[in-house]
Amino acid sequence: PSIIKDNDGTYYVFGSHITTAKSTDMINWDYTARGYKREGNVHFGNLSENLKGSFKWAGEDDGDCKGGFAVWAPDVYYNPRYLWKDGSRGAYMMYYSASSTYKRSCIGLAVSKEINGVYEYVDTVIYSGFTKIYAKDENSDHSKQYTKTNIYNLIQKGRVCSYKDDWGVDDYNSVKYPNAIDPCIYEDEKGRLYLTYGSWSGGIFTLPINPLTGIPVYPGFDSVTEDGRMVDRYFGTHIAGGKGWSGEGPFIYYDKRTGYYYLQTSYEWLGTDGGYHIRMFRSESPTGPFTDMLGNSAVYGEDHAAHGVKMFSNHYFTGLNAPYTSGGHCSTLTEGDETFIFFHTRFKGVEHFKLKVHQMFANEDGWMVVAPFGYKGSKISPQGYSDAEIIGMYEFIDHGSRIGEGTKVATPKTVMLLNNGKIKGAVSGRWTVNGKYVTFYINDDVYKGVFFKQLNEKGEEVMTFSLVGGKNSAIWGIKANSGDYTAKTPAIEISFEDGLSQMETVKRNKGQNPYAEKVDVTYEDGYKGKAIKMDGSFGLKSENIPLSTDMTISFMMKPYKLPTYSPIAAITEDFIGNGKDKWFSLTTFTNGKDAVLWSRNAEKEQWLEGKSAVPFKIGQWQHVLLVFDPEYYDGDENCISCRLYLDGLCIAAGSVTKAAFTDKSKLFFGINP
């Protein structure tokens, strides 16, 4: 989605397949065009006739788009200097791409005096997939010979010195030269215009634009930049990607606050199984060199996973309505002190994309970080936030710098930001704050970003953090809200007012199946009503309580002591053994106080755990809440999620084997079979 704000304050996004939407607040969007309507098209009138100059090369009823169209990724820019034939000035310039194969594509220019159009075809300005000699593609009647492109005319007029055999004699050299798609027009700090474009194949290139005509200024001759990058006589300056590695949808913008040009490009494949994501580079020049936080060039060789700051990955955490997958192909808008990133994302198992708008902020070093939740009108506090707002338990996601994640979804672990500046939990380190800026020191890595209190997708205000650093990765945190709970009527209530209800005692017999045996039970005054006192020699087992992967278990507890591996609560069959153990346990690790969600599926050689940095309280009543959620997705269909709340504060989260929940499973307290 390409973003532009019109003079009347309306925001428009232009997407692939001639799909456009508008908004007055960047929150609520309405379609203005949707699909390849051949006649009466909102933006192009008679689509086939208007864009026939480009379709002669690619994009209509040809090759991979046989029987249809392939008009991709337009970018719209208002150019007040554009000169019309009648001498008037000012035009909305739309650069679009049309494709028939992954090699044979072209970028065209169409202009209009109104943002919705109709856009008039001007010219096709960049071609790819051509050959020196006559050739055709499968399912195509189009000649691929370069004489059918504008290169022939540019050579005739002396604007390009000659045809270069390295482009391809009988087949196009797509490893070294670009696929002509995904255009983006951008300005430098002096207002000069450039067109960047390209994709997988030979990478991403840029050319200066004549502001009067919108036509690129072709170099004419080959050269190299001072840092050794190719400047091709036709395609322009090589700025990113190459050698057939993924990398597409370039967007470049200049931020006068930081003094940098930022390049955002999308890696991998855009389907729900593709691991699509956005990488960031920056430069002090509009034509590069663009580099990442580690100094790696955006023009990469064999290991492109190490190049570019990964802004976010497939992910899910509390406060989202569904797991995000394949978020990419972005554009950026800066308004005053605010910056917004626009991208499309898909969701687990759903190929239809959705437009997302998130805020971005520059950290203390001028690298951009993305807000974890979509834009709902929240404003960042310029002076920062109080310790009381910041300190607490967070769902923590490390987006990493990996390639090839496919359907894997990053799910949160738990960290605690303590008032002494320490970080405990899934990662350990320290944190410092300077106004709205925050720095994390984790192991030997440094991350910098911001705190930002914003609305989540459920309309709840939560504190978040977003930082970049380490090995070119982003880390996010979502603070767990604490507060009062309004309980629903329980489906099952375990009471000790009249002795045992819904439970039976089971004697502890180490190494064997716990068995029912009459136990002298002691009752005491509880937090409310009566409580049962357990000395470690016995526990409780449920009788006919149906268990579910979609439930909560809530109880009050006052421990006298908690040795390591104290069996607080468990879900499993009475006894499985024989290497087929499948269980869930709420227990303690190390010092006997810190909580852990522990789960085992022996058949899959799987140990799962979610540790807490917060201890249970010895000698005090506390409310313990376990929330099991089958929709929580961690990339393993055999798992569900579990979150642990202590007195209303989420102190741990982790995956749990689904296999622990069978029709024979029981709920245990104070004993682990």
Distance, CA of 388 to CA of 373 (rounded, Å): 21
Q: Quote the pLDDT of residue 510.
A: 59
Residue 236 near residue 250 (C-beta atoms within 8 A): no
The first and second tokens of residue 229, run together, are 């990058």
**Max CA distance (Å), the chain:** 102
Classify strands 184-187 and 666-669 as parallel, antiparallel or unpaired. unpaired
Instruction: Give which of 63, 77, 57 is closest to 119, Cα–Cα.
Output: 77
Distance, CA of 201 to CA of 175 (rounded, Å): 5
Residue 201 near residue 129 (C-beta atoms within 8 A): no
The angle formed by the CA atoms of residues 348, 353 and 358, to the nearest 5 degrees, is 95
Distance, CA of 517 to CA of 499 (rounded, Å): 15
For 360-387, the pLDDT digits (tens) are: 999 999 999 999 999 999 999 999 999 8
Helix (H, G, I), strand (E, B) or coil at 146: helix
Q: What is the mean pLDDT of each run of 10 residues along the chain (673 residues)?
A: 94 93 96 89 93 96 93 96 96 97 97 94 97 94 96 97 97 96 96 95 96 98 97 98 91 96 94 89 97 95 87 88 88 95 84 90 97 96 91 89 84 82 86 95 96 93 96 93 60 82 78 65 89 89 85 92 89 74 88 81 84 81 89 68 81 85 91 80
Residue 81 near residue 7 (C-beta atoms within 8 A): no
Q: Quote the pLDDT of residue 513.
A: 57
Radius of gyration, CA atoms only, the chain: 30
Q: Quote the pLDDT of residue 421.
A: 87
The amino acid at 513:
N
Cβ-Cβ contacts under 8 Å for 186 (sequence gap 6 or more): 193, 194, 196, 251, 252, 253, 254, 261, 286
Q: Quote the pLDDT of residue 449.
A: 98
Q: Quote the pLDDT of residue 587.
A: 92
Q: Quote the pLDDT of residue 271.
A: 84
Instruction: Give which of 302, 276, 303, 288 is closest to 225, Cα–Cα.
Output: 288
Distance, CA of 114 to CA of 10 (rounded, Å): 13
Q: Quote the pLDDT of residue 486.
A: 53
The structure tokens 């707002």 sit at 389
Q: Quote the pLDDT of residue 405.
A: 80
The structure tokens 């002591």 sit at 561
Please tell me what DSSP assigns to residue 48. H
For 229-273, the pLDDT digits (tens) are: 999 999 999 999 988 888 999 999 999 999 999 999 999 988 888
